[in-house]
Amino acid sequence: MSSFIDVKYINLCSSLLDKFKQKQTNLWNFRCPLCGDSKKHKNKCRGFIYEKRNKYFYRCHNCSVGTNFSRFLEKISPALHKDYTTEYYKENAWGKKDVGSSLPKFDFVPKFNNVLGGMASISTLAQDHPARQYLQKRLIPERYFRNLYLCKEFKKWTNTILPNKFSSLSLEHDAPRLVIPFLDRKHNIIGYQGRSFNPKEQAKYITIKMEGVENLIYGEERVNIKKKIYCVEGPLDSLFLPNCLAIAGLNFKGVKISNVIVLDNERRNVQIADALNKVITNGYSVCIWPDSVKEKDINEMIINGKTTDDIVEIIDNNTYSGLEANFQLSQWKRC
């Protein structure tokens, strides 16, 4: 058993909890969803999740309910609770009997985990909302809409998290952006990307890294590290492939050597060719797109009618390393 499963699910159910706030490393506070908390005072928050001897409990100081976290989760979201018990079962099935000795070192950094509070996830927007339609047009799978957000004033909001990140001059040209949160394996927020909705905007993506974060990799909370992992250039592209991470820009810091690197199919882009050269030299396996693929990225392939299976097959049939990768890269650049 490990407490990081509990902490993960506390973060996962936070969007269901009104005025959710992490007070300390092992203490969370919000309005009690069971009794509805104070009717008169909408800001009163008397529900608490707390830790005691590596176990997590819920208590409300309004209705006096006291229970363990599992039963609380079951009450507020049977679906999440099902995932939670499955995950617990799997963790135990791996043979971790002794609670005390198997606990990972607790290095949870709670400071940034409430930053998405109050922002609308795309899944809550009306069907005809432009932000939702933007994702629909790109054929992004709907199941990811709840993990993507709309921020109406991206720079102003970023300045509330990282003060003075944007100058007051640039705040005058603030605009809505799609927010793509980056989470680590424990579901801590380590950064995010803001994607512009305006095709004429110069800065298509703005990437923000939280203080103290070393490697900014997208999708770590989802991948199965026991299976083959792909790593692509864009977070949105990664949503089309199974077990796929994305980097922000062409920075491979922290990407495991076992990952298959899949960059965009832009043969004239010097930065991409240089990046491929570098990762090949460093020993990674890379996908060198065959000449038959004309699209410049995975999203375009999907829009042109290729399926996830088609794309995985192309990648798997065109993955190279070492000298062979160098040779294929030189051919690819020539076309």
- Rule CB under 5 A: which residues touch Zn ion? 32, 34-35, 60, 62-63
Rounded least distance, CB 32 to Zn ion, Å: 3
* DSSP result, 217-256: EE-TTT--TTS--EEES-HHHHTTSTTEEEESTT--TT--
Please state, in angstroms and as integers, the Cα–Cα distance from residue 129 to each residue in 50, 235, 299, following that order.
39, 22, 21
Identity of the residue, 63 or 120, whose beta carbon is nearer to Zn ion in the bound complex: 63
Provide the minimum distance between the beta carbon of 64 and Zn ion in the complex, in angstroms, as a whole number: 7
Residue 27 phi/psi, 5-degree rounding, is -145, 125
Instruction: Work out how close the CB of 118 gets to Zn ion at its nearest, in angstroms, rounded to a whole number.
Output: 22
Rounded to a whole number of angstroms, the minimum distance from the CB of residue 50 to Zn ion is 15
CB of residue 46 to Zn ion, shortest distance in Å: 6
Residue 111 CA to residue 106 CA, distance in Å, equals 15
CA torsion 136-140-144-145 (nearest 10°) is -20
Range list of H helices, the chain: 3-12, 69-76, 78-93, 99-102, 130-137, 154-161, 168-171, 235-238, 270-281, 298-303, 308-317, 322-334
Taking the least distance from each CB to Zn ion, the nearer of 44 and 222 is 44
19 or 111: CB nearest Zn ion: 19
| Residue 18 or 295 with smaller CB distance to Zn ion | 18
* Closest to Zn ion by CB, 32 or 236: 32
CB-wise, 62 or 308, nearer to Zn ion?
A: 62
Joined tokens for residue 181: 């949160």
Shortest distance (Å) from residue 34 CB to Zn ion: 5
